Amino acid sequence: MVSSRGRMSDGPGRDSVSDVHNPKAAAVYLTLAPQFLHPSGPVLVPMLVLATAHALLHTFWLAGWTAVTGAAARLLRTPCVRRTLDRLTGASSSASASAPR
């Protein structure tokens, strides 16, 4: 998705553009996909099936990471965890400030 400033904003369009311009993704399709094709058979339909399977796996992978990071964010925002993290970072900062140079 393009924002009003002409830049790519967060969203599904940004991931699609980065995947299209990724040479590693092209290398995967050029090296791995042909082994699943029959030499004398059709190419278009099997490649569309493989690309669809890849897109679905990618979508589920990103959805899984979204769920995990969302749960982690909710956990890190709880008062108990915030206090603990504040104490740890304060102790770390104090220890590094008082360390001999």
Query: Which is more confidently placed, 30 or 59?
Result: 59
Residue with tokens 């490649």: 47
- Quickly count: other Cβ atoms within 10 Å of residue 58's Cβ: 13
Please give the model's pTM, rounded to 2 decimal places.
Answer: 0.56
Query: Who contacts 11 (Cβ-Cβ below 8 Å, separation ≥6)?
Result: 1
Query: In sequence order, what are the beta bridge partners of 8?
Result: 2
pLDDT for the residue 2: 47
8-55 pLDDT per residue, tens = 556 656 665 666 677 887 787 788 888 888 888 898 898 888 889 888
Tokens standing for 47?
Answer: 């490649």
Task: Report the alpha-carbon distance of residue 86 to residue 82 in Å, rounded.
Answer: 6
Report the pLDDT averaged over residues 78-95.
92
CA distance 17 to 11: 11
Average pLDDT over residues 79-83: 94
